[in-house]
Amino acid sequence: MNPMYGFDRILRQLEKVKALINLEDNIYSQLLEAQKVLEVSIPVKMDNGFIKIFKGFRAQYNNARGPYKGGIRFHAEVTYDEVKTLSAWMTFKTAVVDIPLGGGKGGVIVDPKTLSARELEALSRGYIRAIHKFIGPNIDVPAPDVNTDPKIMGWMLDEYEKVAGHHAPGVITGKPLSIGGSEIRSFSTAQGGAYVLDEAAKKIGLKRGATVAIQGFGNAGSHMALILEKMGYKITTVSDSKGLVVNCSGLNINELAVYKVKTGSVKDFPSGEKIEGSKCLEQDADILIPAALENSINKDNAPAIKAKLIVELANGPVTPEADEILKAKGILVVPDILANAGGVAVSYIEQVQNAYNFYWTKDKVLRKLEGIMCRSFAEIWDIKEKYKTDMRTAAYILSVERVAQAMRDRGWG
Ligand code: GLU
């Protein structure tokens, strides 16, 4: 990967914010590195009887505000640099929504589609055995991310508890409901994104009924489409790694979701229109939601984007060069560390419930999430106005200052 698109992005962002908030050198220098990055080998006996070694990472970026927190991704392109970058984003994400957690991230280099169910379980358990000494409800708390889900979290929790010899539901969030998971965690990233999208749309005079293009139809993207459709937005474009579907009068998202489960892609969905070209980003929609992987909006495709509002449901979907292009075009970008923070916000609620051993209703969790997202949006908007800057810079001003204050209060300065 081009280093400019990896950890360098964090360094550039911090450099920019340092100048704006007069961050002292003693704090700044500590924010430029992860506190710890583990690299582990995970031996898995494959179905053919041979042992295969997988490589995994767990990055613990900063724990000044609370235990490290962040998901685990299973992907063929996971790297040390990527996991470290994502752990830094988690640090600022938890701070932006003001939950008492730090930032971490995990990853395993694997294409999970190539594994059998038994191999996937063995890998998930093996990863936890490799890192179990370094995680815990008060140390570091993993969760789902790209290609990992509640089922995998269930295996991971079970493995941790077996090694620990006692129950510890707060060690992992995004678990199945039956073993301490929270209502709405499965769609909380999308739900949180929908709350801030609605706030941002109001600010620029877009009404429900506005058209939406979504890039990525995995957990976050598909739930976002369903939620926005219910709110009255019109989803006209959806893409995934295999194809694109467009319908100017609005796609039927329930049908599309069923179609995707059946065929593995949104490609060739029967009620889509036959259109020229194959690019999601260039479609004529008021709102664009990148919900796939990092760097999908770059200097090559940013000039063609027609949307008035971009809501970053993925982590790091806009490269720094593309960010400048979008700014010059007057497009409002709601940054990832706010837009997709609904996932970790509900993870926090899940952990609180685990600690109480008492579980709230779906409505109560939804109201709490709405409160967290709308308050954070308003705080960032005020900073944006005060500093006459963009939302991303405003979000970093708020979050870096919060992390820095916790570091000062611990005497780390
Ligand atoms: N993987 C999600 C994220 O990137 C959720 C992390 C969590 O709940 O800890 O924000």
pLDDT digits (tens, 9 = 90+) for 167-210: 999 999 999 999 999 989 889 999 999 999 999 999 999 999 99
| 92 Cα–ligand 1 center, Å | 12
* pLDDT confidence of residue 293: 85
HEC secondary structure over the chain: CCHHHCCHHHHHHHHHHHHHHCCCHHHHHHHCCCCEEEEEEEEEECCCCCEEEEEEEEEEEECCCCCEEEEEEEECCCCHHHHHHHHHHHHHHHHHCCCCCCEEEEEEECCHHHCCHHHHHHHHHHHHHHHHHHCECCCEEEEECCCCCHHHHHHHHHHHHHHHCCCCHHHCCCCCHHHCCCCCHHHHHHHHHHHHHHHHHHHCCCCCCCEEEEECCCHHHHHHHHHHHHHCCEEEEEECCCCEEECCCCCCHHHHHHHHHHHCCCCCCCCCCCCCCCCCCCCCCCEEEECCCCCCECCCCHHHCCCCEEECCCCCCECHHHHHHHHHCCCEEECHHHHCCHHHHHHHHHHHHHHHCCCCCHHHHHHHHHHHHHHHHHHHHHHHHHHCCCHHHHHHHHHHHHHHHHHHHCCCC
Confidence band for 34, pLDDT divided at 50, 70 and 90: very high
- pLDDT higher than threshold 90 for residue 235: yes
- In the set 18, 84, 93, 105, the catalytic residue is 105
Cα angle: 6, vertex 92, 300; to 5 degrees:
35
Q: For residues 327 and 361, give the distance between their C-alpha atoms in angstroms, rounded to a whole number.
A: 41
Q: Which residues share a beta bridge with 290?
A: 215
pLDDT at 276 over 60: no
Among 58, 347, 352, 369, say which to mutate for ligand 1: greatest number of ligand atoms within 8 Å of CB. 347
Mean pLDDT of 56-79: 97
- In the predicted model, is pLDDT for residue 27 greater than 90? yes
How confident is the model over 88-145, as pLDDT tens digits? Answer: 999 999 999 999 999 999 999 999 999 999 999 999 999 999 999 999 999 999 999 9
Q: 102: Cβ below 6 Å to ligand 1?
A: no
pLDDT band at 30 (very low <50, low <70, confident <90, very high): very high
Cβ–ligand 1 distance for 145 under 6 Å, the answer yes
Question: CB within 8 A of 395, min separation 6: which ones?
Answer: 92, 96, 335, 337, 338, 380, 383
345 CA distance to ligand 1 centroid (A)?
Answer: 9
Task: Tell me if residue 36 is catalytic.
Answer: no
Residue 382 has pLDDT above 60, yes or no: yes
The answer to whether the CB of 173 is under 6 A from ligand 1 is yes
The region of weakest confidence among 46-55, 216-225, 268-277, 337-346 is 268-277
* Pocket test residue of 344, 372, 399 for ligand 1, highest count of atoms within 8 A of CB: 344
pLDDT (mean) for 9-38: 95
Give the tens place of pLDDT for each residue, 278-305. 567 777 899 999 999 888 999 999 999 9
Amino acid found at 47 = D
pLDDT at 273 over 80: no
Percent of the chain with pLDDT over 70: 98
Domains of the chain, start order: 36-170 (3.40.50.10860), 188-339 (3.40.50.720)
Residue among 189, 313, 351 to mutate when testing ligand 1 (max atoms within 8 A of CB) = 189
Distance, CA 146 to ligand 1 centroid (Å)?
9
Establish whether residue 71 lines the binding site of ligand 1, counting it when its CB lies within 6 angstroms of any ligand atom.
yes
Interatomic CA distance for residues 233 and 255, integer angstroms: 16
Residue 346 CA, closest ligand 1 atom number? 8
Assess whether the C-beta atom of 124 lies below 6 angstroms from ligand 1. Answer: no
How many angstroms separate the alpha carbon of residue 405 from the centre of ligand 1? 23
For the segment 320-374, what is each residue's pLDDT rounded down to a tens digit? Answer: 999 999 999 999 999 999 999 999 999 999 999 999 999 999 999 999 999 999 9
d(C-alpha 369, C-alpha 66), whole Å: 19
- pTM flag (> 0.85): yes
Chain-centroid distance, C-alpha 172: 16
Average pLDDT, the chain: 95
Which atom of ligand 1 is closest in space to residue 315's alpha carbon?
A: 4
Q: How confident is the model at residue 40 (pLDDT cuts 50, 70, 90)?
A: very high
Q: What is the 234 CA–ligand 1 centroid distance (Å)?
A: 27
> What spacing in Å lies between the alpha carbon of 130 and ligand 1's midpoint?
21
Which of 78, 82, 90, 91 most suits a substitution to test ligand 1, by most atoms within 8 Å of the C-beta? 90
The finding on whether 185 has its CB within 6 A of some atom of ligand 1 is: no
**Among 158, 179, 189, 182, which Cα is nearest to 71's?**
189
Q: What is the pLDDT of residue 350?
A: 97
Residue with tokens 């998901």: 71
C-beta of 347 in contact with ligand 1 (< 6 A): yes
Indicate whether residue 69 lines ligand 1 (CB < 6 A): yes
Q: How far is the CA of 336 from the centre of ligand 1 (A)?
A: 11
Nearest by Cα to 211 from 340, 339, 308, 336: 308
